[in-house]
Structure 1
Amino acid sequence: MTSINIQNMMADSGVAFGTSGARGLVSQMTDQVCAAYTLAFLQGLNLAEPGRKIALGMDLRPSSPGIVQACAAAIKQAGCETVFCGALPTPALAFYAMSRHIPAIMVTGSHIPFDRNGIKFYRAEGEISKADEAAITQAVVDVAEFAEDGMPPVNSEALKIYKHRYIALFERDLLAGWRVGIYEHSSVARDCLRDILSALGADVISLARTDTFVPIDTEAVSETDRQRGLDWAKEYGLDAIISTDGDGDRPLIADETGNWLRGDIVGLLCARFLGADTVVTPVSCNTAIETSAAFKRVIRTRIGSPYVIAGMEQAEAGGSESVAGFEANGGFLAGNGLQVAGRRLAALPTRDAVLPALVLLAMAKRRNCPLSALTAQLPQRYTASDRLRDFPTAHSQALLASLQSDDAAYQGLWGTALGSVVRRDLTDGLRLIFNNGEIVHLRPSGNAPELRCYAESADAARAQELVRLTLQGIADRYAATR
């Protein structure tokens, strides 16, 4: 046995909690580190009861099976029983665990590069809170010497009930006559999506399937993928293209022209279709959410699903009858009270990619219009985002500090092209609102050494240009100091 203080281990290993779960370089995520986190979750949250079942799943990263074995060994050491659900979307594991009232552990790095991975934890009630995270990090655990027992047998029930959740929600001929492309890449949701779309009547076309892990970030679509969408739509005569990030909790949806839709607009449309009276969304999302007047109440939070979930719980406790949450990455969180054509939708307060994709397809089919027409009646506000990779967090923090207090600092990036700053929002990172109505929002990533930039404008091309100019200016400034 080795006694491990989790706080010390985090500092020594570099594997620490980010926005959503513990993440780090694969080289840092040793068997001992992964086992220690698992024990800290079970023991720190008083879940390690003899014989208790713990659901365990993974994405398709090459490092995920090894981490699964370490987690399973720790579950066994804690006296619990592993229910290994195999490779499946994170929301599928969460839905299964919540329906069976058992905790869950998902091995995934979501959208971050393949040389990194992570572990996400769920109580029986859903995602762990920030208070739960603090309890895990304060734990001290005894880790037994790792014995490799191989991969546990797969229980396929979780994937089965997740697919049924959506096939049963819509009419079986919903997508009859539509041709839908699935950009499969290495998404763990690719086969699940095919099964659901086919069951609802769509003619499904497989696109770019690979066994090599591809880190798709739905908030920062690459130029290659932008062009791919346009080319695929034209080549195959598609009505839509559906994809997700690596673990299937963030959607990527393109219309019939191959243009990818922004995640916050997808969330707005989805929440309205499901009859939400209250939406909870991070501060980085499009202001059309408020100006559309589609909801009785809009609650803005910090970026990250734990904050959105806390806001949803606050809304429900305050009397909201139908609550939805969504993020700029498109991940949709279903609260209580949502419905599809009078059919109740069971709550699933964790990011999900399948629900918003199906809702947008259903909206277009029922209106007998192309997907691109769904946004026609929304306020003309456009968002764009991208990131600087391998940008040290310390540099991000120093930059934000200077922009908060020094007018010359932001004029050095944008000159006078945006006018003066009328408001600085420090909810999460630094969000600058200029007197011409445009917005630039900078925030260090919580999962990797990256600086994210969000921009909003009344013109789509202008929003993209704001992101490009901002990140280029920061990159040039950083390069000049090296």
Structure 2
Amino acid sequence: MSDRTGVDLSGLVKAYDIRGTVPDQLDEDLARLFGAAFVETTGAEAIVTGHDMRPSSPGLARAFAEGAAGRGADVTEIGLCSTDGLYFASGTLQRPGAMFTASHNPARYNGIKLCRAGAAPVGQDTGLREIRALVERWSADGLPGSGRAQGSLTRRDMLGDYAAHLLGLVDLSAVRPLKIVVDAGNGMAGLTTPAVFRDLPVEVVPMYFELDGTFPNHEANPLDPKNIVDLRHRVRETGADMGLAFDGDADRCFVVDERGEAVSPSTVTALIAARLLTGHPGSTVIHNLITSRAVPDVVREHGGTPVRTRVGHSFIKAEMARTGALFGGEHSAHYYFRDFWSADTGMLAALHVIAALGAATGPLSALVAQYQRYAASGEINSVVGDQQRTVAAVREAFADRDGSTADELDGLTISATDWWFNLRPSNTEPLLRLNVEARDADTVARLRDEVLAIVRA
């Protein structure tokens, strides 16, 4: 890091985490400073660290731990884990935590997801800005003494405890024998799935369970349809009851039915919300503004209170904390549970789907049909130079539309009785993202084409 005097971290420290390419943006020297700054900012006497399977992760995680110990914190290193495994450790041990992962990004990337004790998020407004400022200063001026005794480094395996905790949150006693294809994408689900599914009445058909941070088979991003093509084929080929796909750090879970058809994360959100509200009537359920209207519909039908938020896990977690919500779901397949420190866990979401299917007599497609009530466009991206002017043009075009209303909670949302669309700017690219939903596919197509004609003019 000797060539980084006065380093500018604006390209590395994002709104909610630290993420960049290795070693030009993030290396072990810098990770060591981040460890020290994390302890300095949180005042932690003890922290916990974990890492994914990327080739650079063990070295970065150890450097961070050394930096933290140098500021006097005792560090528990849990080694290879999923991101929700790190959240489990933070919640169980009541310690701030650091997870080394770049989630679904390509192999040359790595990063750090930070949390306070109890898996509480760390973002720009909750400590990340201060951490960045310290690292930038120390990279130029050197790391000052802390006045604290050197902390310890201790290894601890928490995978078994993690699995037991998740299994204790879902009643799986009525699950019939199932065959499930699981695509780990060479990510951390290759480690967590065998531990969690070991004693379930489930035949697992494994795909890409080898931990390999170079991702030799496909990107570990199941949100992109091309990355679940293999899973869909294997489900049909083996006659499986369902398929599951996890992203690289296994905090997101995607579901495929017995026909090999993808089940929308909005549908999964509605299914889980209905299950949880049965035991907790009157509770709040969080959903972001691009989830299907089926989600608030189902929440109300089951006696719950839906609360709509902006897109992004920091907004979901903030609302979870503010409202004491039972559950939260995003259309990106992040699922948040009050019983899991209000943090997101793809594996717990998977267990809820397994419990629901395992207690049903029919196939998954029939089970989820009741939650699939609208047609949707999916997210459509357009490169736009002047985002503000374009959004204003769309708003003006729909200003006099009969029965429609507009809000700007996150970008522009225009809503009517039988349809809605949201147009919002990307935080990192010159893109506008469009999502359209309506009662029927023809209306979706008409609205999509009308909005895109303005956006791409």
Range of TM-score over shorter length: 0.7 to 0.9
Once the two structures are TM-superposed, the CA of residue 420 in structure 1 deviates from its matched residue by 8.1
1:125 aligned counterpart, secondary structure: helix
Residues 1:281 and 2:287 aligned together? yes
* Inter-partner Cα distance in structure 2 for 1:271 and 1:297: 11
Residues 169 and 70 of structure 1: CA distance in aligned 2, closer, same or farther (over 3 Å): same
Q: Is the 8 A contact 1:440 1:466 kept in 2?
A: no
Give the direction of change, closer, same or farther, for the CA distance of 1:469–1:351 in structure 2 (3 Å limit).
farther
> What is the alpha-carbon distance in structure 1 between the residues aligned to residue 221 and residue 390 of structure 2?
27
Asked if 1:312 corresponds to 2:311, the answer is no
Alpha-carbon separation, structure 1, partners of 2:406 and 2:56 = 41
* C-alpha contact 1:24 1:118 (8 A) present in aligned 2: yes
- In the superposition, the TM-score normalised over structure 2's length comes to 0.82
Contact kept? 1:84, 1:153, Cα under 8 Å:
yes
Q: Where does residue 160 of structure 2 map in the other structure? A: 160
Contact kept, 8 Å, 2:51 with 2:79, in 1: the verdict is: yes
Residue of structure 2 equivalent to 1:230: 232
Question: Residue 131 of structure 2 aligns to which amino acid in structure 1?
Answer: I
Aligned with residue 402 of structure 1, among 367, 389, 395:
389
Percent of aligned pairs with the same residue?
Answer: 23
Q: Which amino acid is 2:126 matched to? A: A
Shift of 1:88: 1.1
Aligned to 2:147: none
CA distance in 2, matches of 1:367, 1:39: 51
Contact 2:290 2:422 in 1 (8 A): no
Question: Which residue identity is paired with 1:312?
Answer: M
Contact 2:79 2:155 in 1 (8 A): yes
CA contact (8 A) 1:45 1:135 kept: no
CA distance in 2 between partners of 1:33 and 1:451 (Å): 34
Aligned residue in 1 for 2:76: 83
Most deviating of 426-435 and 226-235: 426-435
Closer, same or farther in 2 for the Cα pair 1:96/1:179, shift >3 Å? same
CA distance in structure 2 between the partners assigned to 1:10 and 1:406 by the alignment: 35
CA distance in 1, matches of 2:238, 2:30: 47
Q: Are 1:387 and 1:471, in contact at CA under 8 Å, matched by a contact in 2? A: no
Q: Distance in 2 between matches of 1:449 and 1:36?
A: 32
Distance 1:472 1:85 in 2: 52
Letter in 1 for 2:232: L
After superposition, the Cα gap between the structure-2 partners of 1:61 and 1:420, relative to the gap in structure 1 and judged at 3 Å, is farther
User: Equivalent residue of 1:285, what SS?
Assistant: coil
Query: In 2, Cα distance between the equivalents of 1:76 and 1:439?
Result: 49
Q: Do 2:423 and 2:432's aligned partners in 1 also have CA atoms closer than 8 Å?
A: no
Task: Tell whether the 8 Å contact from 1:262 to 1:383 is kept in structure 2 after alignment.
Answer: no
Instruction: Kindly indicate whether residue 409 of structure 2 is the aligned counterpart of residue 427 of structure 1.
Output: yes
Matching residue's letter, 2:318:
A
Provide the rounded CA distance (Å) in 1 between the counterparts of 2:234 and 2:351: 20
List per-residue Cα deviations over 1:235-293 (Å, max 9, x = no partner).
Answer: 10000101211111111111111111111221221122122521112222211122232
SS at match of 1:83: strand
Residue number in structure 2 paired with 1:249 = 251
Quick one: structure 1 residues 113 and 461, their matched pair in 2 at CA, closer, same or farther if it must change by over 3 Å?
farther
CA RMSD in angstroms comes to 3.5
Structure 2 residue matching 1:9: 3-state secondary structure: coil
Instruction: Provide the residue aligned with 1:258 in structure 2.
Output: 260
Query: Match for 1:444 among 422, 426, 429?
Result: 426
Gaps (5+ residues) in structure 2? 144-152
**Residues 99-110 of structure 1 mapped to structure 2, 5 A cutoff:** 99-110=92-103
Q: Which amino acid aligns with 1:182?
A: V
State yes or no: 1:373 paired with 2:366: yes
Once residues 287 and 353 of structure 1 are traced to their aligned partners in structure 2, the CA distance between those partners, rounded to angstroms, is 22
Q: Does the CA contact (< 8 Å) of 1:384 and 1:467 recur in 2?
A: yes
Aligned CA distance change for structure 1 residues 334 and 65 (closer, same or farther; 3 Å): same
Asked whether 1:333 is paired with 2:362, we answer no
SS in 2 for 1:62: coil
Residues 405/467 of structure 1: CA separation in 2 closer, same or farther (3 Å cut): closer
Residue 125 (structure 2) pairs with residue 123 (structure 1) = no
Alignment of 1:332-371 (within 5 A): 332-335=335-338, 346-371=339-364
Paired position in structure 2 for 1:343:
none
2:126 counterpart SS class: helix
- Aligned equivalents of 1:248, 1:122: Cα separation in 2: 17
- 8 Å contact 1:182–1:194 — kept in the other structure? no
Match of 1:215 among 187, 195, 219: 219
Q: Secondary structure of the residue that 1:16 maps to in structure 2?
A: coil
Checking the alignment, whether the CA contact within 8 Å between 2:221 and 2:227 is kept in structure 1 is: no
Write the distance in 2 (CA, Å) between the matches of 1:461 and 1:198. Answer: 46
Q: Secondary structure at the match of 1:309?
A: helix
State the alpha-carbon separation in 1 of the partners of residues 242 and 106 from structure 2. Answer: 27
**1:300–1:5 Cα change, 3 Å:** farther
| CA distance, structure 2, for counterparts of residue 460 and residue 242 of structure 1 | 27
* TM-score (norm. length: structure 1): 0.78
